[in-house]
Structure 1
């Protein structure tokens, strides 16, 4: 077996090796950065909406006119332009992380094909997200395009979370850790969480935070769509409690029970924020916090599903073949 290179004290060298000479641990860390980046971009997207900065950069892919960066414009305040442009720049950061994750998955030895596929999905999805972001601007924040723009992030987070989990486990066929009815209950829970996310976009598209004062809104009654969203949220909570009870009843592994307890805590916190913002007239900061909570809930739900099966320990990784200079260096006996 090829020995793994010693850990360099130089942080830049360690960062390079995490991509060019990756281990399962370094790939998992890069995947975690992808999870964090995609959750953060949801929060910054929420900040764009509540500050009415959605058209701070009124063009795409340029910001204004012939300029890629914000320039002075009497029609768009500098702060709104800066917020929208900052959100666009974060997309490039998330894309860069996705490219690094893909490169690390390709360089991992032994190569694990399913990790390469999960990793490739990340930069490709970010590119799709950028294109949809352009459609959002060109349609002047139509609520349908804005909803799609948001919902791509949870879809992308599935790739990120699964890669994060898979990098730390083996490639054996999945071995169920709980009976099939419990796994089906967990799958229904994920579907309920997805429905909560979708109806949440309808509530936002009907409410006061359109991203711009002149943007079109859905013509629904805000109380009606909020009630539907709330009922689905309570259904997700009920399914989570049922899943927790089932996991305890069948003696599920401690990791699975921790995941479901984390999800219950997030759902209760999310519900509290939702009710508080509703009765306070939907203040902007709470909207951003609620959006961030929704993706954290989504991440926790997928971590729970992954905790219900076992694929064995992660294979021992070896460094890729060294370059010419390293190959000529004397080797220890």
Structure 2
């Protein structure tokens, strides 16, 4: 068999396997599509930051077209080809996110037996992408108004949460949830998740006040940068304190090992993110570190969601529950 034939056969096999992964899904392929949803939503959030820090926010100055006369980039006197390529590339990634979202819906709907909980969560993906696309048009038409840009980021955070919820639920069945930790520790986890969300909100305010607007024509929040940076730093320390408290509580109560390790990972990611934040502040906010900081914020959010979901369990369809975890599970809780 020639090399070309082998490549064709391999490609055909891969395409067939990909098709069956959502058309004839198993519990395993459903989980894979769900985690793919987390990855692509996180990825487009970070590339959105790349668009902003490279000054490419209006590289395609109209919407839904790139320019007034074309859906694809064409020479434009006010925008460099590089900026246009970066912005257009980010728009193209939307179709990848949408494709993964549709695959999640198909996999959830064709699961045997079909689980309504997964179908509902899966539909959030394409619906969220459609909402993001329309909101992205408003961002462009508002010339990157910081309010619209901030909401654009927070919608992405919501989509990541929905994708992670789909992933977590696809690893379980629909039995009632049981706590694996003390009730007060689980409450602390919810408080921590809310605090992380507030941290992200204060972060977008800092971003909307700082120097990387996405385009020289973009407006900025009329706040003092040092003041909002201090508010954001305060939120950082609150989140770190809550995370340490949660980590300590999980260890002294002999909580399940996966929950303890997840909390430790979250604490480590937060520390790394804090270092990046302080370095970028004292080095005049270089573009590269801003992009890295956005990546860090996405990882903090995902790590937080992981901790929250690992502090409870439903009768698992794909994960063996250890005896220690089973013995520490409390009465069923509504979720």
TM (norm. structure 2) is: 0.90
Name the CA distance, whole Å, in 1 between partners of 2:162 and 2:45: 16
Question: Contact 1:28 / 1:168 at 8 angstroms: preserved in 2?
Answer: yes
Q: Name the residue aligned to 1:182.
A: 185
Name the CA distance, whole Å, in 2 between partners of 1:172 and 1:256: 20
Structure 1 unaligned residues grouped into runs of 5+:
1-8, 317-333
Q: Where in structure 2 are the equivalents of 1:79-90 lying within 5 Å?
A: 79-90=82-93
Q: Where in structure 2 are the equivalents of 1:85-96 lying within 5 Å?
A: 85-96=88-99
* Aligned counterpart in structure 2 of residue 264 of structure 1, from 240, 261, 267: 267
Instruction: Tell me how far 1:315 sits from its aligned partner.
Output: 7.2
Question: 4+ residue stretches of structure 1 with deviation over 6 A?
Answer: none
Name the CA distance, whole Å, in 1 between partners of 2:262 and 2:170: 18
Name the CA distance, whole Å, in 1 between partners of 2:152 and 2:281: 23
- Can you list the C-alpha shifts for 1:213-261, whole angstroms capped at 9, x where unaligned? 1211111110000000010011001000000111112211111011101
Instruction: Tell me how far 1:68 sits from its aligned partner.
Output: 0.4
Q: Name the residue aligned to 2:323.
A: none
Q: Where in structure 2 are the equivalents of 1:116-265 lying within 5 Å?
A: 116-265=119-268
Equivalenced residues, count: 309
Question: Contact 2:171 / 2:318 at 8 angstroms: preserved in 1?
Answer: no
Question: Contact 1:171 / 1:314 at 8 angstroms: preserved in 2?
Answer: no
Question: Contact 2:269 / 2:299 at 8 angstroms: preserved in 1?
Answer: yes
Q: Which has the higher contact order (CA 8 A, sep 6+)?
A: 1
Instruction: Tell me how far 1:199 sits from its aligned partner.
Output: 0.5
Instruction: Tell me how far 1:66 sits from its aligned partner.
Output: 2.1
Name the CA distance, whole Å, in 1 between partners of 2:292 and 2:270: 13
* Aligned counterpart in structure 1 of residue 316 of structure 2, from 306, 313, 317: 313
TM (norm. structure 1) is: 0.91
Name the CA distance, whole Å, in 1 between partners of 2:34 and 2:118: 10
Instruction: Tell me how far 1:151 sits from its aligned partner.
Output: 0.5
Name the CA distance, whole Å, in 2 between partners of 1:314 and 1:166: 10
Structure 2 unaligned residues grouped into runs of 5+:
1-11, 320-335
Name the CA distance, whole Å, in 1 between partners of 2:203 and 2:130: 24
Instruction: Tell me how far 1:264 sits from its aligned partner.
Output: 0.3
